[in-house]
Amino acid sequence: MFLALAALENDNDMTEMIHGVRRRFGEAVMDFTPEEREVVLWMIGEYRKSLVEEFPLLANQPWQVIKVRSDHCAGFCHTRGLSVVIAEGALNRMVAEFQQYGKTKEALAGSGTIIVHEQIHVLQRCFPKKFAGLYTEVYGFIDGKVKADEWVERNEIQNPDGLEGNRWIIEHEGNHYWLKTILAEEGDPARMPDSFREAIIPLQEVGGIYRADLKKGEKKPLLVDSSLIKGWKEQFPIRFGHDYPNEIFAYLFQAEMTRRLLGEEPSDDVMTSNTMKWARKNLK
C-alpha cells in the first residue's frame, strides 16, 4: 500500500479519511481458498526451516498473512501492522507455481519469496533501532532531521513499510539529498503506480537541521536530475526501492535467499555480501 497525504482542513477531515481507509481495507479482505491455504502454510513452513539456523530472529517472528483483492492498492503486497498483506493475484501465481513444480525448491524460489520480503518489513517495524545501524553503518545513510516541507508532505507517496522516510538522508560526493517518490502533477485521476515519480531534492544543513533547497522565487523544492546520484544508486544491485533503506535490505535479502533455495552460489556483490554479514550477526 502507498499513501498520498493531501492537505486537510481540520482534524475531522483526518478522522474521516482514516475511517474511510479502514473501511476500504476491510472490504478488500478475502478468505483463503483451501488450496491457497495449503500452499501458503507449506511455503511459510519451508521458509522458516531454511532461515531458523542463521536468522532465528526472522524465522521465529510470528508469520501472519492476510489476503486482499487484486484491485486493492493496485495489487501491491505490503504490510499492515504485524501482518503481511498479499494480493489475490500474487497468491494465484504462487498456486500456479506449486501446481507446476510441487513441493520443490523451484516452487519456493518463485513468487512466494514476496512473503519473506514482507515479513522482513514486519521485523523492521519491531526492531527499528537494530536496523537503523544497518542503514547508517553499511548503507551509508545519514540519520538526520529534515525540516518539514509543505510541498513534499502534500505530494509524497509514502510507503507503509517504511514510514520513517523523512529521517534518511543520502550523502553523495559531498552533497546531501532527499530521495522521494511523489505523485505526478500531470494526469487526473492519479493511478498506481503509473503516477509515481522519483524526486531528488538537494538539502542544506544548518545547525544540525537539514532543509530542502527551494526553486528560485517559489515555495517548491528544487528537483534535480537523477544522474546526480547515479553512482550512489549503483552500489545497490536493485532496480527500485532506493528511497527507503528498509526496502534495500528486503530486496537484497530476498534475492540472496532465492539463490540459496536454488542451490546457487552467493552473490559476489560487495553490498549484498556486507548486508548478509550484518544479517547473520544481528538477526540471531
CB atoms within 10 A of CB 22: 10
Read off the pLDDT of each residue in 203-232 and give the average, rounded to a whole number. Answer: 94
- How far, in Å, are 143, 176, 251 from residue 132 at the CA level? 8, 18, 17
Q: What is the pLDDT, as a whole number, of residue 18? A: 66
**275 in Cβ contact with 251 (< 8 Å):** no
Q: What is the pLDDT, as a whole number, of residue 6? A: 41
29-64 residues labelled b (16+ CB within 10 A) or e (exposed): ebebeeebeebbebbbebbbebbeeebebbbebebe
How many Cα atoms are found within 13 Å in the side-chain-facing hemisphere of 136? 11
110 versus 153: the higher-pLDDT residue is 110
Chain segment 12-70, per-residue pLDDT in tens:
665 776 677 778 878 899 999 999 999 999 999 999 999 999 999 999 999 999 999 99
> What percent of the chain clears pLDDT 90, i.e. is strictly above it?
73
Mean pLDDT, rounded, of the chain: 91
Conformation bin of residue 33: beta by default, left when phi > 0, alpha when psi is -120 to 50: beta
Q: What is the pLDDT, as a whole number, of residue 50? A: 97
Model confidence at 1: pLDDT above 50: no
CB atoms within 10 A of CB 113: 19
User: What gap in Å lies between CA 132 and CA 35, rounded to an integer?
Assistant: 39
Confidence band for 73, pLDDT divided at 50, 70 and 90? confident
**What dihedral angle (degrees, nearest 10) is formed by the CA atoms of 67, 109, 253, 157?**
-40
182 beta partners: 156, 197
Read off the pLDDT of each residue in 82-108 and give the average, rounded to a whole number. Answer: 97
29 beta partners: 68
What residue type is 105 in one-letter code? K
Q: What is the pLDDT, as a whole number, of residue 160? A: 78
165 versus 6: the higher-pLDDT residue is 165
C-alpha cell read off for 171: 550523502
How many Cα atoms are found within 13 Å in the side-chain-facing hemisphere of 121? 28
User: What gap in Å lies between CA 234 and CA 230, rounded to an integer?
Assistant: 6
CB atoms within 10 A of CB 98: 24
Q: What is the pLDDT, as a whole number, of residue 129? A: 94
Chain segment 157-193, per-residue pLDDT in tens:
888 787 676 799 999 999 999 999 898 877 666 677 7
User: What gap in Å lies between CA 230 and CA 148, rounded to an integer?
Assistant: 26
pTM value is 0.90
Cis peptide before 237, with omega less than 30 degrees from 0? no
What residue type is 60 in one-letter code? N
Confidence band for 5, pLDDT divided at 50, 70 and 90? very low
Confidence band for 10, pLDDT divided at 50, 70 and 90? low
